[in-house]
Amino acid sequence: MSKDIGNIMKQAQKMQARLAEIQQGLSGKTVEASSGGGMVTAEVSGGLKLVRIKIDPSVVNPSDVEMLEDLVAAAVNEAFKRAQEMASEEMGKVAAGLKIPGLF
């Protein structure tokens, strides 16, 4: 039984190291999402940081700021959703390779 625990500990350490590698790699990856037919684009890193907002000048209308705010919010929310999905997919690869006796 202590051999199983030792194996589990080794697997956990490997998984922890791999997760750290993935998190570091994710911070260098980005995803984009747009709204308003591409009028507003948001770029978010895999580390869930807003990197950039691009706004087409034609959508900037001082008399309709609310529309621009809605487009920005929609693009940012979708970009964060995509970044979270990317991170989950990468993290899932680590869990898929984990073989702990009695659990899988």
Give the CATH number, domain containing residue 86: 3.30.1310.10
pTM above the 0.75 mark? no
Domain assignment present for 104: no
Q: Report the range of poorest mean pLDDT among 6-10, 38-42, 60-64, 69-73.
A: 6-10
Q: How much is the CA Rg of the chain, to the nearest whole Å?
A: 20
Residue 103 lies in a domain: no
Total domains, the chain:
1
**Residue 102 forms part of a structural domain:** no
Helices (H), the chain: 2-27, 65-96
- Give the domain extent around 22: 2-96
Flag whether 22 is in a domain. yes
Residue 69 covered by a domain: yes
Residue 49 belongs to a domain: yes
| Residue 66: inside a domain | yes
pLDDT at position 90: 83
Read off the pLDDT of each residue in 65-69 and give the average, rounded to a whole number: 96
